[in-house]
Chain A
Amino acid sequence: MSAPKGKSDSARAIGLEVSLAIAEAVKLAEAEVVAAYPITPQTHIVEHLSELVANGELTAEYVPVESEQSAMSACIGAAAAGARTFTSTSSQGLLLMAEMLYIASILRLPIVMAMVNRAISGPINIWNDHSDAMSVRDCGWIQVFAETGQEAVDLTIMSFRIAEDPGVLLPLIVNLDGFTLSHFIEPVILPEAAEVRRFLPPYETAHKLDIQNPLSLGALGGPEIYTEARRALDLALTGAKPRIQRVFDDFAKVFGRQYKLVETYRTEGAETILVTMGSISETAMTAVDEMREAGQKVGLVRLRLWRPFPVEEFRAAVAGAKNLAVIDRAMILGFPEGPVATEIRALLYHEKNRPHMTNFILGLGGRDVPRSHFKHIVERVRELGASGRQGRYELVGVLE
């Protein structure tokens, strides 16, 4: 969120666990079908949604399925019937759901999912990193990362509008860090129901199963059509980018909170720029403040949109930086850099004035990410930039 929190906002803010706030946002969005299977650390979201449905506060069909694969299958069916559909999962649950994610996107069904990011086992681990999100990087869904509870709420509401935009019609994942965001009690402003209804009218679509106008969804796509089908999906996903920003802008007009696809923080004149995604960005901002106070020319670029990758916006955000420190919350086993860094290095390959770039991997499996990590990174990236040694990840705080 770029705009500072105003006084009127703090008066309206309530202290709420972020998971519950997301469930309340789904209620405000008037989702019609929720099909989900509980898994730590996502559980509180769907638990609260089932309460809201049981209490009659949310008029929706809550489908308590027997697995995540079934959850996504039920969501696909519901969205294909034209219902506003929500689900949520994490880690191993996502892996069980994975095959259906690819179906939802090719069928162009605007399902919204909160992915409460958790490390993929093993060793078995319930804590936060981005290895689950990265495992479905190419599933054809729009993917955003939330930094704060407020942003998780706002993105959830905006997600339905983005996904259901007739010029988009794609499923969307809202990523939020497990525990370090999902289980925080923090100030959250829940928008007024009437305002949300105005911003997000009921989902009406012609792209649905209708007995009056029958059609088949999910037909075979053989060698004579598969290439064109994948190309069409890529064009749809890439083409969604300006429409996502437009929804962000419309949201700002109604609710006063302006979001961008890529956010910059104190990048003016920055020699070294950190690149982050998700809830560590707040800690990184404070670290940047402290480093700036100590006279260091450090800035921060935060990726809010991950898919489609905001190529032009990102290039503009890091233009002029001497050193780039790209932070990953997951590893690519058997490759010298993490997933975010790999992509950014590829994007910068053709730039005339490429910054020195180093990849730092941290916060794996719930390991705490304190401000000192970012300060260490800035020192290291400066050393490495000067010596020209690049292209291998560094694990911050690893004991070896």
Chain B
Amino acid sequence: MIEVRFHGRGGQGAVTSAELMARAAIGGGKYAQAFPSFGPERRGAPVTAFLRISETPIKVREKVYAPDVVVVLDPSIMNVTKVDAGLKDGGVLVINSAKPAAELRKSFGFKQKMATIDALRIALEELEAPITNTVMMGALSKVAQVATPEQVRGPLEERFGPGLAPKNLRAFERAYEAAKAEG
């Protein structure tokens, strides 16, 4: 079982990312669950969402305390939240940042593997909007090997409709191709 924790801010799509990843996994014949860390919903507030993907039925509903993967949708969240809390030694951080991994590692003391991706730039180029969640889904899918572009196509189409789905899929694919864990 792979356990993932998403960090973002209200309105950035952390919850949607977890949901779409779960739906893609279930559509691909796996077992999955996704849920937000529920709270008063307001734009800009730190938001956490959780995702579990497994080959066997998942019989646990507790929060994810020791994630295999942490996804950071919003780089500024690292200043207010210890995003690597509980991350397994062999785990990986997938961070939306234009900065190189080494620099973030120095600033925040991250010990585990890291994959950084300039999701904002990709989002602006592909979606013409600073919405980074589908880009980060692409990075997560590649780094954690949890879904292929083919598997997320359906959930993306269902969620974004014929107008926006192709753009989101392209954003996903670019991140999927570019993302690489290091360290």
A336 adjacent to chain B (CB < 8 Å): no
For A187, give its contact among B31, B61, B63, B155 (CB under 8 Å): B31
From A4, A10, A283, A366, give the contact of B31 (CB < 8 A): A10
Contact B31 A185 (CB under 8 A): no
Q: Measured between C-beta atoms, what is the minimum distance from B156 to chain A in Å?
A: 13
Q: Is B59 touching A184 in the complex (CB atoms < 8 A)?
A: no
Within 8 Å of chain B (Cβ to Cβ): is A369? Answer: yes
The interface of chain B, by Cβ under 8 A from chain A, is: 18-19, 22-27, 29, 31-36, 38, 40, 57-63, 65, 155
Residues of A within 8 A of B29 (CB): 10-11
Q: Known pairs A186-B26, A366-B38. 10 more at Cβ < 8 A?
A: A10-B29, A15-B23, A184-B34, A186-B32, A186-B33, A186-B58, A280-B61, A368-B63, A370-B63, A371-B60
CB distance from B65 to the nearest CB of A (A): 7
Contact partner of A371 (CB less than 8 A), chosen from B22, B25, B27, B62, is: B62
Q: List 7 A-B contacts (CB under 8 A).
A: A41-B38, A179-B35, A183-B38, A185-B32, A279-B61, A282-B60, A369-B61
Nearest-neighbour CB distance to chain B for A68, whole angstroms, equals 21
Q: Check A15–B26 contact: CB distance below 8 A.
A: yes
| Interface members, chain A 1-40 (any B CB < 8 Å) | 4-5, 10-11, 13-17
Q: Is the interface of B mostly helix, strand, loop or mixed?
A: mixed
Complex formed: what's the CA distance from A179 to B62 in Å? 12
User: How extensive is the interface on chain A, given as a class?
Assistant: 20 to 34
CB distance from A4 to the nearest CB of B (A): 8
**A16 cross-chain contacts in B, Cβ below 8 A:** 23
Give Cα distance in the complex from A303 to B155, angstroms: 36
Alpha-carbon separation in the docked complex, A283 to B60 (Å): 4
Give every chain A residue within 8 A of B59 (Cβ-Cβ). Answer: 282-283, 285-286
Once the chains are docked, how many angstroms separate the CA of A180 from the CA of B60?
Answer: 10
Residues in A whose Cβ lies below 8 Å from that of B65 = 370
Whether A14 contacts B61 by the Cβ 8 Å rule is no
A17 to B34, CA, bound (A): 9
Shortest distance from the beta carbon of A367 to any chain B beta carbon, whole Å: 11
Q: What total of A-B pairs shows CB separation below 8 Å?
A: 76
Whether B23 and A185, one on each chain, are in contact in the complex, defined by CB atoms closer than 8 angstroms, is: yes
A179 to B31, CA, bound (A): 19
Take A11-B29, A179-B38, A366-B38 as given contacts and tell me if A186 and B60 are in contact as well, using a CB distance cutoff of 8 Å: no
Residues of the B chain whose Cβ atoms lie less than 8 Å from the Cβ of A17: 19
Q: Are B38 and A13 in contact (CB under 8 A)?
A: no
- Chain A residues with CB below 8 A from B23, complex form: 14-16, 185
Cα–Cα distance between A215 and B43 once the two chains are bound (Å): 55
Beta-carbon nearest neighbor of A5 in chain B: B57
Given the known inter-chain contacts A13-B26, A14-B26, A14-B27, please indicate yes or no for A184 contacting B57, CB distance below 8 A: no
Hey, which chain B residues are within 8 Å of A41, CB to CB? 38
- B38 near A184 with CB under 8 A, answer no
Considering only residues 121-167 of chain A, those with a C-beta below 8 Å from chain B are: 126-127
Query: In the bound complex, what is the Cα–Cα distance between A179 and B155 (angstroms)?
Result: 22
Q: Given B19, B27, B33, B60, which contacts A286 in the complex, CB threshold below 8 Å?
A: B60
B61 contacts across to A, CB distance below 8 A? 180-181, 184, 279-280, 282-283, 369
Shortest Cβ gap from B49 to chain A (Å): 10
List the A side residues contacting B22 at CB < 8 Å. Answer: 15, 185-186
Shortest CB-to-CB span from B166 to chain A, Å, is 22
Cα A366 to Cα B22 in complex, Å, equals 23
Select the residue from B26, B27, B59, B61 with max chain A CB neighbours within 10 A. Answer: B61
Q: Which of A4, A15, A184, A368 has the most CB of B within 10 A?
A: A15
B66 → A minimal CB distance (Å):
11
Q: What is the minimal beta-carbon distance from A119 to any residue of chain B, in angstroms?
A: 12
Within 8 A of B (CB), among A272-298: 279-280, 282-283, 285-286
Interfacial chain B residues near A179, Cβ < 8 Å: 35, 38
Bound-state Cα–Cα, A10 to B40, Å: 34
Pick the residue among B34, B38, B60, B63 that contacts A185 (CB under 8 A). B34
Q: State the 7 A-B residue pairs at the shortest beta-carbon distance, nearest first.
A: A15-B23, A15-B26, A370-B62, A185-B34, A282-B59, A179-B38, A186-B33
Q: Which residue of A lies closest to B24 (CB)?
A: A15
Which A residues lie within 8 Å of B155 (CB)? 15
Residues of A248-287 at the interface with B, using a CB-CB cut-off of 8 Å, are: 279-280, 282-283, 285-286
List the B residue with the shortest CB-CB distance to A373: B62
Partner of A15, one of B27, B35, B38, B60: B27
Check A127–B19 contact: CB distance below 8 A. no
Do B19 and A187 touch across chains, with their CB atoms under 8 A apart?
no
